Amino acid sequence: AASLGRRKERRVPFEKSGEMIRYALVENREYGDVLIDLIAAAEVPEDAKILADDRLSERLRIFEEYANGGLHCLQAEINTRGSRDLVAIVSSLVLDALTPTADTTEDPAVKDMLDALEW
C-alpha cells in the first residue's frame, strides 16, 4: 500500500491514528525496513539525515501516510470495479507500477547500481 501511495503520489495523513505502524512487524519482513528507508529517502532526497536512527519515527510517519494513500487508491479501484475481482485489481495495480511512464527519466548511476546487484 505504501509503494502504491508513493507511485500515485498520494500521501494522506491520518486524522486520527490509533498508533503508528509497529516497526517490528515491518522489520521482520524481508526488505521491510529497506522499503521504509527508500520511501523516506525518496520523499526528502536533500536530507540524508532522514536515515538517522533518531528519525525512525519520521520515516514511519511518511511510510504510514503513503500506505494510507495507497489504501485510498485501492479502495477507489474496488469501488469502481467491484470487490469480486480483487486479484485482477491488485494485478492491474502491480503491472501499472512496473510499467515505465513516458515521463520517467532513468538515472544511469541508479541503473548501474541495480544492474550490479545479484538477486
Q: What is the mean pLDDT of the chain?
A: 80
> Count of domains in the chain?
1
- Quote the pLDDT of residue 53: 92
Match 508513493 to its residue by C-alpha cell: 6
Q: Which domain holds residue 41?
A: 2-116
Instruction: Identify the weakest region by mean pLDDT among 8-12, 13-17, 31-35.
Output: 13-17
